[in-house]
Structure 1
Amino acid sequence: MKIYMYKGLSKGIGLLLILCCISFLLPESVIGQRRKKDKNVAKLGQNSLESEAVFIDAMGFYLLEDYKKALELFQKCDEMNWSAAATKYQIAMCYANLSNFESALAYSQKAVQLNPENKYYYLLLADVLKQRGDFLSASEVYAKAASKFQDGQELFYELADCYINIQQYQKAIAVYQDMEEKFGIDELLIKQKQRLYIGLDDLDAALMEGQKLIDAYPSIGEFKLAQIELYLRNKQTDKAKELIDIYLAEHADDGRARYLLAKIHRSRGEEKEYFEALKLSFQSSDLIESEKEAVLTSYLKTSYNEEQKEMGKELAQIAVETHPESGNLRAILGDFLLTDELYRDARTQYIESVANAPDNFKVWQQIIQIDWELNEVDSVIYHSEEAIEIFPNQVIFHFHNGSANNMNKNYDEAAESLEYAKVLAVDPQLQLQINSQLGDIYNFQKEYQKSDKAYEEALKYDPYNAYVLNNYSYFLSLRKERLDKAEEMSSRLVELEPENPTYLDTYGWVLYAKGKYEEALKVLEKVAPGSDNAEVVEHYGDVLYRVGRKDDALKQWKIALSLEGEHGDSLKKKIEEKKLIE
């Protein structure tokens, strides 16, 4: 219910407003009595002043929106039988603001009965009925008020609105017709009638209404274009074409008209002419951005068709040239470029898009995905930080930032971002990825307790995750801690992927760490010979040394040193001293 209130009034203005209300609401008999000097009415005047004071207090609480206290005081006035209709009206208003529409209805009905000459009492009664969903009864109140108070259009519009709510559309149209006769042709009035006629599938009648507007306001092109649109909707394309040609002869640069012409060509199956007219319309700022977005989106949906994709891309480029500061249009152009795998060009458009519309979550995602696609890890960090400034509670941007910092070995920053992402994440798969990375990061930082905890958390989400099983077991073997746990995990890993050389190396190295050299040798013999992984070959050499095959071990260490990759100082010492160094 629309109850209009004055807020933030100064004390003086508030009192003035209350006094104005009092003078408006006071019954004529009381006002008259106060002007008389007859001492026989002195007592009545005293009672009236007391009631008036209570009423003023009530209005004060009402203006402060303390409806319960106001109601209490208005009811006191009602008991004093002071200005009965006005008091009942105010009581009804209080109940309405407290959403007690049953009581509001009773008091608003009494107000109308006591003073049927006050328009606002009718308005309140009808409004309360609408709040109760009784649009039929509300329409009866509006109809009575409209016939009684012919001082404006408000009551007629409200009456028509009630008829529309109860689907009595012809009655609503009749009300609008009556308004037209009383108040003359009006744009809102005509358009309301047109909507109803269109809803009733009477497009001819809607066209007749549109012609009224054109005849009444021949200089307003908007009405002519709306009429052409209606002809097109009514499948009267010849008439629409005739009118649009006349209009374009006078307004050749009107983008809206060019767009209508394009639609006419399409309805006739004239695809070449359709596209040419569409290009001209896109060159004009008259055609609003949302219309262009809708057209471009339809082309994007058919981007699997090369010809359609190229046409859409051409239109998108025109649109961006016409509206260079449109974030949405630049994003759509970026989408077209992305379908051609023009990643850098697409990213340029996306970056321009968020420069103008920074709150577009999807576009930020696209930018960062392209950063990953181009393997530009520094760009991922930079753009994810920018996105976090705008979307501080979106987990995905913290995840991207942490992952990129992890790749760049910025472990402190990576841990901070991923820990924040961990708090925000609700998706189990994302929690798995976050914890698996935190396990790696804390291990590199030698915070082994945190590392193990993160890996354990990850395995809760997926006990057979190969990445976690491999890294967790391998790092435990390097630390020579909880080796039984490491063996259990690495053996599970090999069961999952028995031919994976990385996992076989991990399993073999865990067995080595436990002193199970013969078992480790059997495992590493499956993967080390012919391997181009320096670490695997070095491990193989270490195992060979442990089982007494020192010459073979030296040979494998030399092979490991010749392979690409990082080589620790210990490998060179092994070769120089021809013995195992750990």
Structure 2
Amino acid sequence: MLLPFALASCATHNGVQPAEKAAEKPAAPATLPFKSTAVPPKTIDKELLFNYLAGEISVQRGAWEAAYEHLLLAAKEAKDAVAASKAARLAWRQDDMKRATRATKLWIEYDPNALSARQLAMLAALRNDDMDTALEQAHAMLLIAKARGKDGFLLLSSALATTKNRNKLLLIQDIAHQYAGDARAQYALALVSSQEKEFTTALQALDEAQKIDPQWDKPYLLRVQIFAMQGDEAGAEKLLREAADKYPSPALLEAYGRLLMQQKHYEEALKYFRKALDLNPKDHELLYVVGVLALQTRDWDLARSTWEQLRDNPRYHKEEEAWYFLGQLEELRGNLRQATENYNKIKAGRLRNDAQIRTAILTGKLGNLEESHELFNALRLTDPDQAVQIYITEAQLLKDLHKPESALKIYDEAINAYPQDADLLYATGLLAADLGDIEKAEADFKAALAIKPDDSDALNALGYTLADQTDRYEEAYAYVKKALELDPESPAILDSMGWVLFRMKEYSEALKYLRRAAEKLDDPEIFAHLGEALWTTGAKKEARDILDKASKKYPDNPKLKDALKRLQ
């Protein structure tokens, strides 16, 4: 859980320059550390031209050996670093280290400040167990990177990450020893060591890096990853929280915010993302996450100001997306007409179809069912690949509006158009079961299973319906048992198994499944089943506590209401 967010955070903030830097005049180019002594010819003769052309044609034909020889000849005659680099890469891709080394030497001779050439030379030397050459090329990389204003240690560790050669550890340890006072060198050692699962070495290197530069955020993020890789999730979380609070850089604050999001602690996550945004107010990605979290936590004023800011910013280039979330904002607040107006602002982009579906749904909720149906029909015509899901969405809308017969008509129309769609048959069966039409529900579920025999949802629905609305408990048990074998961690299926066992008066076993389901999912129907099972087994206080708590959270749920009535 902890690995992806730290990496994502690093990717988000690497290379971000303050606005003041961007406004400065470009600095004069630094003097590069190496000079080429190669002198290209003044003219191109026929043989040189032939080798260039023959090399390129051979590349296109996949004749890599011929391509290599022609390009190498062209490189030698023209003193051409580009031709040498192509020859080197060809040989490297074919894992021919002898040829790769020969071409790379020419490449470095003609362009000694080419970081890619130095990188290939270093990796080839490691493969050949030539540590002296590998170190020579590594030092060259550091000098060139410094002159170009880049982090040579990071480039070095990134290059070493591409090889599995164990010599890379010896090389990076030697570099870190020579640059013992440089936090970046220690961090590079930690990166390479962690890739090789040499965690003790990595953590010691991070200790050194943090002694040198205690406010640098990358060592903290890498330490978090190492803790997680070792299985210490709690330690990783504690470390990240402490680092974000003590050294609040955008990367650390965002990383901890993402962890809180994964744990669904949205209000706390929002606090950390807002702190990160305060430090980096021009980061549109941070602003985007703040907007999403503001909607999630129902902070309407913050949500509105955030999405309007993104909508009106010409550099964001996602005006359509901002309009979509402004539509979501109004929909969540119950302002359905304003929500529809916002959705209708979206004329293109990946959210256009979804916005049109939301418009069709809201039009129905506003009482314009004929217009809503026309909108759904138009969507099915313009997006035939999603037609089945659009049918299901329209039927669900009608069911929510307490028009189940109209919903069944939509399903009948859909099944006539798509008679072999298991999802449609399954959805129709669910509605029929809700209406108490057991014969139709059973037929629809079995028709779906004839198409998809291992559909755990359909198996579960059929088993649950038979257990809940008939006395065919043995059949119900068989269907739910098979569903549970296919999806053993599904809270819905665990609940069904508990309910089947309860109906079979296997109370002790029933409670085991119902408790597991309730632990996995906050669902009123699961709480209704668990409460009823507890009451029946004599645990009336626990049952009452569970049902009272659930009914306060879900006051309109019919299953909870029925359970409470039966137990009065």
* Bin of the TM-score, shorter chain as denominator length: 0.3 to 0.5
Whichever of the two has the greater Rg, that structure is 1
Q: State TM-score, norm by structure 2.
A: 0.46
Greater relative contact order (Cα 8 A, min sep 6): structure 1 or 2?
2
Q: State TM-score, norm by structure 1.
A: 0.45
